[in-house]
Chains A and B, each alone.
Chain A
Amino acid sequence: MSAPILEVNDLKKHFPIHGGFFGGTTGYVYAVDGVSFSIARGETLSLVGESGCGKSTVGKAILRLFDITGGQVVLDGQRIDDMPSGRLRPLRRRMQVVFQDPFSSLNPRMRVRDILAEPIRNFGLASDAADIERRVGDLMDRVRLPRDAVGRWPHEFSGGQRQRICIARALAAEPDLIICDEAVSALDVSVKAQIVNLLQDLQKELGLAMLFISHDLAIVEHMTHRVAVMYLGKIVEVAPKRSLFAAPKHPYTEALLSAVPVPEPGAQRERIILKGDVPSPIKPPKGCRFHTRCPYAFDRCSRDEPVLRQTEEGHWAACHLHDRPAAENPLAGERGAAVIAHH
């Protein structure tokens, strides 16, 4: 196997909370607390979880939009988390991002042509002005927007078209890795399908690696090769797509799958309705972070923190249940079909 394009080792990001009379640090938000994964060239890894689980923070930490608290981020063999910004700059070209809101992520005072030309100029990718113009035209083709729209302003486009512009801008830098942070979440169903198809086509055509951050499990299942599920700043399960959806090995993943409404009226499925809310990442629970909501929790779960262990080839889960004999492990079998519903 070739070396991964991205490796994240024990990534930590703790945000200080300022307060008190002198504005000192009174605590930390443990947004990301020891996350490790890697992405191969041309692979899509999805990061799923609910709001506040730290999935977006992981994306931003990789992009070095802030400095991390601990751990390593390695892009194509080079450690970038502690690299001085001057040396990092050329490497930034290789990882680009598409954000959720196409309305706020385009400068309203720049024409599409200038938006797309900016990264080309910044990274010195074009030989002359004609080359820039040619590249901008090619990018418009790639994202299936009319070439003659380059003279227009962002407000003249619909949400889906703007997201195409954001994707074109990300592609302009000729990256190896694209981070999509809820890139299709704000779009309407029919437009979402257009953008999902576009991203899949581009990935195949260009061999891009993708980190797809999303809370929408159905889209993730459609898009991804592998899935990592996050809960309260930790990865609780990571597996190839089919393995994860067919046989979730963490109770949180199982509950997530069972909670997604499926467009099949009267579908017979087992429902696992989690009690309560996600605890605060300021004071995460001791032991397993999920034990306060876990339907299968037992005494050990509130004491020891489980670590990720391989349950089968490529399938990792952090749950004490797998230390028990299969008869006492509710997640031993293939539980996916039962909670997703099938006929």
Chain B
Amino acid sequence: MALLEVENLQTHFRGADGVNRAVDGVSFEVNSGETVAIVGESGCGKSVTAMSILRLIPEPPGKIAGSIRFNGKDLLKLSDREMRDIRGNEISMIFQEPMTSLNPVLTVGRQIGETLRLHQGMNKQQAEARAVEMLKLVGIPEPERRVKEYPHQLSGGMRQRVMIAIALACNPKLLIADEPTTALDVTIQAQILDLMRDLKRTVGAAIVIITHDLGVVAEVAERVIVMYAGRKVEEAEVGRLFRNPRHPYTQGLLGSMPKLGSSLTGEETRLQEIPGLVPSLKKKLDGCVFASRCAYATDLCLKVAPGLEEKAEGHIAACHYALKESVAA
């Protein structure tokens, strides 16, 4: 049994001008100790998927349907109280903005200790001692001093380390990281990715990393889920996905990225564009969600939505024309 099984997740938001189908029928699994990346552009529903798992979507206007089984329990059927016991304890989350996700008027020690006192029943002294350990674990120098400091006294990279310390304090089985390095500079991003790889080895939690950066995906993930317009369009082991992307959208994403080192290999070509825009999520689409931007689209694509099919071992894609071989490039 997988640690997390998401089945036909649908998170819709009711607004004045109709229903926004932010996530529309997404299924995936995460095994214990595995790192899965969910990748896609803004508005594809990747963050809403993450928020839905922890039930952080305000209902109403949101509405979550489908099932999310964690360790066999359906999270969508739990009471608010039972859900609170899971958040920050068995499943925890790191957000993009380390500046706004920490409480500015509490010391970092108190914020790390909060989850420990709540979930593990530690007293103040125990929680503080553990907070120091956690800061040491995430590589913050002089943890005994830093534990008494406030978020504004720390740099952006250090704050993100504190966020990770909070998330890992209760030894979660699943860590959801929503764009954990997007707000950071590249040298600091390298530090944090390095830290996440190290911690994965030592702590052993499963990680779901949400990102728009295919470079980050290649660095940390074992399996990748590509989302587009609220749907999962492709899923594969990371090496396979980058070597042999099956869905035209994934191919387009990879082709639109400039590659570092292109001037050395003489591969300087014009960047591939994906023409057009993401379709509105408010209209129910009959055909393939990507058809309006796809170079290979036919009448069939406009009429019938392709189902997810296994195109190769462990490699699934939702495209009528992605057969056993890659779509003609």
Residues of A within 8 A of B (CB): 50-51, 158, 160, 188-194, 196-197, 200, 215, 217-219, 221-222, 241-242, 245-246, 255-267, 271, 273-274, 277-278, 336-337, 340-342
Contact = CB atoms under 8 A, between A and B. Distances in A.
B215 A273 contact: no
Contacts of B158: 277
A200 B258 CA distance: 13
Given A50-B186, A218-B257, A197 B193 contact: no
Q: State the main secondary structure of chain B at its contact with A.
A: helix
B273 A193 contact: yes
Given A190-B41, A193-B272, A196-B271, A261 B187 contact: no
A263 B261 contact: no
A296 B191 CA distance: 18
Contacts of A340: 260-261, 264
Contacts of B193: 261
B264 to A, nearest CB: 5
A258 B215 CA distance: 12
Contact of B273 (A194, A259, A336): A194
The CB with the most chain A CB atoms within 10 A, among B214, B219, B238, B264, is that of: B264
Interface string B256-274: 1111111111001011111
B186 A277 contact: no
A192 B214 CA distance: 14
A51 B185 contact: yes
Contacts of B271: 193, 196-197, 222
28 contacts: A158-B277, A190-B252, A190-B253, A193-B256, A193-B271, A194-B274, A197-B273, A222-B268, A222-B271, A245-B260, A245-B261, A245-B264, A255-B187, A259-B190, A261-B193, A261-B216, A263-B214, A263-B215, A264-B242, A265-B239, A271-B194, A273-B194, A274-B187, A277-B157, A340-B260, A340-B261, A340-B264, A342-B265
Please list the 10 inter-chain residue pairs (A to B) with the smallest Cβ-Cβ separation, ordered nearest first.
A261-B215, A193-B256, A259-B190, A190-B274, A222-B258, A50-B185, A193-B271, A340-B261, A188-B41, A263-B214
Contact of A336 (B185, B215, B257, B264): B264
Contacts of B253: 189-190
B258 A196 contact: yes
Contact of B262 (A160, A189, A193, A221): A221
Interface in B221-275: 221, 238-239, 242, 252-265, 268, 270-275
Contacts of A194: 273-275
A299 to B, nearest CB: 23
Interface of B: 41-42, 155, 157-158, 185-191, 193-194, 212-219, 221, 238-239, 242, 252-265, 268, 270-275, 277
A190 B186 contact: no
The CB with the most chain B CB atoms within 10 A, among A191, A192, A222, is that of: A222
B186 A215 contact: yes
Nearest to B183: A51
Nearest to B254: A263
Nearest to B191: A273
A158 B261 CA distance: 31
A66 to B, nearest CB: 24
A235 B271 CA distance: 29
A188 B214 CA distance: 12
B215 A260 contact: yes
A274 B187 CA distance: 7
A159 to B, nearest CB: 8
A98 to B, nearest CB: 18
Nearest to A340: B261
B276 to A, nearest CB: 9
Nearest to A257: B260
B239 A336 contact: no
B215 A192 contact: no
The CB with the most chain A CB atoms within 10 A, among B188, B242, B268, is that of: B188
Contacts of A277: 155, 157-158, 188
Contact of B212 (A188, A221, A262, A342): A188
A215 B261 CA distance: 16
B71 to A, nearest CB: 29
Contacts of A336: 261, 264
Contacts of B214: 189, 263
Contact of A256 (B186, B191, B213, B239): B186
A263 B155 contact: no
Contacts of B254: 263
A260 B260 contact: yes
A318 to B, nearest CB: 18
The CB with the most chain B CB atoms within 10 A, among A189, A200, A242, is that of: A189
A289 B272 CA distance: 39
Contacts of A51: 185
A50 B190 CA distance: 13
Contacts of B262: 218, 221-222
B185 A192 contact: no
Nearest to A49: B185
A271 B195 CA distance: 13
Contact of B218 (A245, A262, A342): A262
B238 A265 contact: yes
B182 to A, nearest CB: 11
Contacts of A189: 41, 212, 214, 253, 256-257
B221 to A, nearest CB: 8
Nearest to B44: A188
Contact of B187 (A50, A196, A197): A50
B258 A218 contact: yes
A218 B218 CA distance: 15
Contacts of B274: 190, 193-194
Contacts of A160: 277
